[in-house]
Structure 1
Amino acid sequence: MSQPHAPASQLLERSRPLFAHPRLLIAGQVDDDYPRTLLQQSADSTWFLTDYSRFRPQATGSDGLDIRFGHQLEAGETPWEGLLLYLPKAKAEAQFLLAQLTPLLTPGAPIWLVGDNRGGIKGAEKLLAPYCSKVRKQDSARRCSLYQGLLDQAVAPFALDAWFGEYTLPLGEQTLRIQALPGVFSAAELDEGSRLLLDHLPPLRGRVLDLGCGAGVIGAVLKQRHPDIALELADINALALASASRTLAINGLEGNVYPSDGYSDVAPGLQHIITNPPFHAGLNTHYQATEQMMLQAPRQLAKGGDLLLVANAFLRYPPFLDQAFGPHGWQILAQSSKFKLYLAR
């Protein structure tokens, strides 16, 4: 059953004939399944997703629509004739997507950018300036706006390596190199919550999952300190997975990096689940994914296994730990003025 359309898609529905291109490319931060409607009206169109939680339910359809997941879209046999980009929450990710997708378009192709007025869409003209000499607002409603331009500027071939940022992380006598694509968590520095977690790591053994791995900082440190563990890194963000893979490789470390929406693709029998989960989704604070992760953790853990979770101190996670592990099955292992580190077994 089709889900209710988010405001940005409701705005697009008002102008649906605009998107009836034989080869339309749709990408960005999509919060519903409305692109399926657009794909069904345009032959040979493609929906490119970097969010596995959005891709996974769409990929199960049997209607033959071209829906792809990854950090980089492979060029088709012929160029796409239009690009509809739902504005990502991170400006740097929008720039990254435009840089890689515009070379896959025909010259003169229309480019549309749609998004929430509170989420940066008012900067559409600057975002599209390298590709379009003129950009105009096409429509506005539901606190969202739609901008349009034509690809009339020369675009350089996309070079993925140029988009990886790097910083070093001193760890005692050793140093890790962290590489990350734009918009990925821990892309520029180690955050305070992750540092608290790494400063209080208990001994590790067996299968260890870094859930919501981001740029792979936590996973890389785990493997460096405990070379014998079987390390797994999972995330819903394709850019994060590419970053984590690079971080491991550049430091000579091994781990199994794969997409997973929560535990959707994780095999049970883990000895340790270690996570610094996000609690923001788009413009809103969102707790449900982390709450479900806590409640489902016991069935993913081997006997005697544990969950190590760092979270903002104000988040009300203890009731969920009580429900999952029992009131005596968890403890606060460490805390700072902003964060708490929970250990549940």
Structure 2
Amino acid sequence: MSRLSNVSEMLLRNLELFAGKRLLVCGLLEDSLPQLLLAHVEQLTVFTTDYAYYRQYSATLGGRLQFGHCLESDVQHDALLLLLPKAKQEAQYLLAMCAPKLLPNADLLLAGDNRGGINGADKLLAPYGNKPLKRDSARRASLYHGVLERDVPPFTLQQWVGHYQYELGGEVLHVHALPGVFSAAELDQGSRLLIDHLPSLTGRTLDFGCGAGVLSAAIAKRYPNVNMELVDINALALESSRLTLAANGVKGEVYPSDVYSDISGPFAHIISNPPFHAGLNTFYAATEQFLDAAPAHLVKGGDLTIVANAFLRYQPILERGFGRVETVADDRKFRVYRCRRQ
């Protein structure tokens, strides 16, 4: 069993709030908390947008655990536990999605790390009822308790899709993104540098950590003979990529993968602006695993092209797997690296 987070340890001090409830849990799931709640609730549904979490706990939680960008369930719950995600807009999205699945006067329980915006619980819960009570504060985490006292509209995904455009070679590309997804509001500097220094691409190409689908849309427009595959761990990112590809009239296969868990066969090219943030901490393990195993997922002569913050020590990892590493662009903040499998 995984070590419990500070938030989960605090929640276990408040089990009476969950007793006999038909509970819906969502948000920043990090550990085995839902399993520990099972003995105290009448019914449990757990919703996650994190494919790694889904893979880790689907065997033990079974049909109680759902993965996706939108909760697919007709079950009505009388309590919601939202574990506060990093992005405020994602918390608003999850509340709006879950609220129509709740009965009138359902409990609204919002828990999170004190460094992560939990003190804004009043504003987050304001559209749903009166001011929530602060039930607990321990282990640098807090728990707020509100009640669903207001009517809520049906959830409509399109209302939560953000839009922006950027120009590529005289052509306008359209980006669609759900809350909390990387590059959701504008084209980030690193991705722009990578797009400007892409190699000539053809054949099977992997966009690892696809986010809003910015890289794949640009690649598919520039190189129509490429066969794009887009993977990410985040269901909101995957749906954003599907929307972005459709908006630009290009195609690609979009699917979840925890690093290489669901990827098969070698690629001619791997392209990535790899993630390195998780929760409130900087986290590199998944990206290091991605880079270490990249040669095994490329055909002979295939190449890996990534962009990374200049301070990240990725070059030694790449040298270990590929030998030679070429720095094809460096604007002092970001670097584009290219490696070829010998």
Match of 1:308 in 2: 305
Mapped contact 2:46–2:64 kept (Cα < 8 A): yes
Partner of 2:35: 36
Q: Is 1:260–2:287 an aligned residue pair?
A: no
Cα deviation for residue 21 of structure 1 reads 3.4
Match of 2:7 in 1: 8
1:150 match:
147
Q: Is the 8 A contact 1:212 1:236 kept in 2?
A: yes
Per-residue deviation, 1:268: 2.4
SS at 2:103 equivalent: coil
- Quick one: which amino acid aligns to residue 70 of structure 2? Q
Following superposition, which runs of at least 4 residues in structure 1 exceed 6 angstroms of deviation?
A: none
Asked whether the 8 Å contact 2:207–2:215 carries over to 1, the reply is yes
Tell me, what secondary structure is at the counterpart of 1:253?
Answer: coil
- How many Å apart are 1:183 and its aligned residue? 1.0
Q: What does 1:97-108 correspond to in 2, within 5 Å?
A: 97-108=94-105
Q: CA deviation at 1:201?
A: 0.6
Contact 2:82 2:111 in 1 (8 A): yes
Displacement of 1:40 in angstroms is 4.3
Give the conservation status (yes or no) of the 8 Å contact 1:21–1:82: no
Once the two structures are TM-superposed, the CA of residue 267 in structure 1 deviates from its matched residue by 1.0
1:45 partner SS: strand
User: 1:251-290 counterparts in 2 under 5 A?
Assistant: 251-290=248-287
Equivalent runs, 1:132-281 vs 2, <5 Å = 132-281=129-278
Letter in 1 for 2:188: D
Q: CA deviation at 1:197?
A: 0.4
The corresponding residue for 1:18 is: 17
TM-fit CA distance, 1:65: 4.9
1:342 match: secondary structure: strand
Instruction: Please state whether the residue corresponding to 1:227 is helix, strand or coil.
Output: coil
Partner of 1:66: 64
SS of corresponding position for 2:3: coil
> Secondary structure of the equivalent of 1:297?
helix
Q: Does the 8 Å CA contact 1:165/1:187 hold for their aligned counterparts?
A: yes
Counterpart Cα distance in 2 of 1:14 and 1:181: 34
How far does residue 196 in structure 1 lie from its aligned partner after superposition? 0.6
1:134 and 1:320 map into 2 onto residues whose CA distance is 50
What amino acid sits opposite 1:331 in the alignment? E
- Contact 1:27 1:49 (C-alpha < 8 Å) held by counterparts: yes
Normalised TM-score (structure 2): 0.97
Aligned-partner Cα distance in 1 for 2:118–2:161: 25
Matched residue SS, 1:124: helix
> Could you tell me which amino acid in structure 2 is paired with residue 183 of structure 1?
G
Identity %: 54
CA 1:258–1:173 in 2, change beyond 3 Å: closer, same or farther?
A: same
Tell me, yes or no, if the aligned pair for 1:39 and 1:46 is still in contact at 8 Å.
no
**Rounded Cα–Cα distance in structure 1 between residues aligned with 2:81 and 2:6:** 15
Of the three residues 302, 326, 331, the one matched with 2:326 is 331
Match of 1:341, as an amino acid?
V
| Matches of 1:173 and 1:342, distance apart in 2 | 26
Q: State which of 317, 329, 343 in structure 1 corresponds to 2:338.
A: 343
Give the secondary-structure state (helix, strand or coil) at the position aligned to 1:112.
strand
Aligned to 1:53: 52
The alpha carbon displacement at 1:251 in A equals 1.1
Instruction: State the superposition RMSD in angstroms.
Output: 1.1
**Is contact 1:268-1:299 (8 Å) kept?**
no
Residue from 72, 75, 93 that aligns with 2:73 = 75
1:129 aligns with 2:126: yes
Q: Deviations over 1:204-255 (max 9, x none)?
A: 1111011100100001101111111110011011111110000001111110
Q: Which sections of structure 1, spanning at least 5 residues, go unmatched?
A: none
Report the number of matched residues: 340
Measured after TM superposition, the shift of residue 44 of structure 1 is 3.0
- Tell me if the contact between 2:208 and 2:231 (Cα under 8 Å) persists in the aligned partners: yes
Contact kept, 8 Å, 1:40 with 1:65, in 2: the verdict is no
Q: Is the 8 Å Cα contact of residues 39 and 65 (structure 1) preserved in structure 2? A: no
* Alpha-carbon offset, residue 152 of structure 1: 0.5
Q: CA deviation at 1:173?
A: 2.3
In 2, distance between residues paired with 1:170 and 1:333? 22
